[in-house]
Copies of this chain bind each other. A is one copy, B any other.
Amino acid sequence: MHLLEKLEAMNRVQTGEDLHRFAARLYPICRSITGEGIRKTLGMIQEQIPLQLVEVASGTPVFDWVVPKEWNIRDAYIKVPGGDRVVDFQRSNLHVLNYSSPIRATMPLSALRPHLFSLPEKPEWIPYRTSYYKENWGFCLSHNQMQALEDREYEVCIDSSLEEGHLTYGECILPGRSAEEVLISCHACHPSLANDNLSGLAVATFLARLLSGDDLQYTYRFLFIPGTIGAIAWLARNQETADAIRHGLVLTCLGDPGGFHYKKSRRGDAEIDRAAAHVLAHHAEAAEILDFSPYGYDERQYCSPGFNLPVGCLMRSVWGTFPEYHTSADNLEFIRPAALAESLRICTAILDVLETNQTYRSLNPYCEPQLGKRNLYPAGGGEAIQREISARLWVMNLCDGEHSLLDIAQRSGLPFSMIRDAAELLHASGLLEAVPGPRGGESDHHEEFREDVHPGR
């Protein structure tokens, strides 16, 4: 059974609720790029899929960067001396500037003010701010809270630690028939933010679970990593391994109700780019394909010129374009069970294309084969059957050893699954043979790259 069929056999409403429930369990944790928050998060993913946790010591050089000290936090607040907390980390972990160094002091509002961040244009929302690489401390609060502060002394406490420790990431490998890899990567370093973090974690976790135990063509590598520094650390430790990556997807912002966006890899014409565009054209109501740019998520690192991996990024609404982005409004109400389930379906459909894309050669290249005598040309029939016959004719016409099934789907305008099903039927009828070697077909211009990994096969 193909991956998409396997997914579609499941109850979709149920899947959406399960995805949302998983995100909800992860929501309260105060994550950062290091520390117990991300460890706990990875532990909860480990309950779902076989995940290996990797620890990289603070101070480790990774290309141009250095793994920072480990940050942990227990509590933080601003309070009126002897009175109530007016800003309280226990109510929202966004209240603390992520990676704040510890502080415990009493100071007038004027001294506190440079350490306070709010969003005047959205006075009820708490912004999300970080200061990973420049030691600082601070509080994020709603603008209403900000304005309610009186000009007086406050007791300020951030009970955090910044010490030698580790950066932690999770890696889940699902071996396939080939050593060639598909990379699925998502960042796991944001605290209570639902779309920009948890939606990607949930979809990736469920995708790994769906693939587990399947007879896979590719080996799948799922990475749950702190953004930027995590991807850089992984690439620095796996420079050779990265060569095996044939296709990759960064997953993020997959729970909001907006339409899909696929951002192409730096190559722009990689098989993943074509597969994603094809799936979105056929499966999604509204979708937009974006050109690569060197800002966004960890595709920045995977697509840096020294690697130039074929890794794109799948999102619904694009980071920075929805007002809830990096605020407390990116919460569990902002992400929807149905949107998460549909995102999982699109991811599965894309992997389904990659798994079953293949190049065939016709064993009957001279004129059409007589489909009728093989019962492959049903007489009469409505439009559905006409499309099936069309798919068979397209496959017989273009399977010349140079066009992949994805090429044929694109040229015919028919959905990939229909072309693939036709090819499998015609293959079973002895009319086609599979062409060994690179699977991507005519549009693949990176053959020298691929050859590196073939010798071992």
Contacts and interface: CB of A to CB of B under 8 A. Distances in A.
Contacts of A305: 362, 365, 396-400
Interface of A is mostly: loop
Of the listed residues A266, A305, A370, A412, the one surrounded by the most CB atoms of chain B closer than 10 A to its CB is A305
Given A133-B372, A133-B373, A372-B134, A294 B366 contact: no
Interface in A394-413: 394, 396-400, 411-412
Given A294-B396, A295-B393, A394-B294, A307 B366 contact: yes
Given A266-B397, A294-B396, A394-B294, A366 B306 contact: yes
A449 interface: no
B239 A63 contact: no
A304 interface: yes
A382 to B, nearest CB: 15
Interface residues of A, number: 46
A351 to B, nearest CB: 26
14 contacts: A133-B370, A134-B379, A228-B368, A232-B368, A291-B411, A294-B390, A294-B397, A304-B366, A304-B367, A304-B368, A304-B397, A305-B398, A306-B362, A307-B366
Nearest to A411: B291
Of the listed residues A228, A236, A293, the one surrounded by the most CB atoms of chain B closer than 10 A to its CB is A293
Interface of A: 62-65, 133-134, 228, 231-232, 235-236, 239, 266, 291, 293-295, 300-301, 303-308, 362, 364-370, 372-373, 379, 390, 393-394, 396-400, 411-412
Cβ-closest 9 pairs across A and B:
A306-B365, A294-B397, A306-B366, A305-B400, A294-B393, A64-B369, A232-B367, A301-B367, A305-B365
Contact of A366 (B239, B398, B411): B239
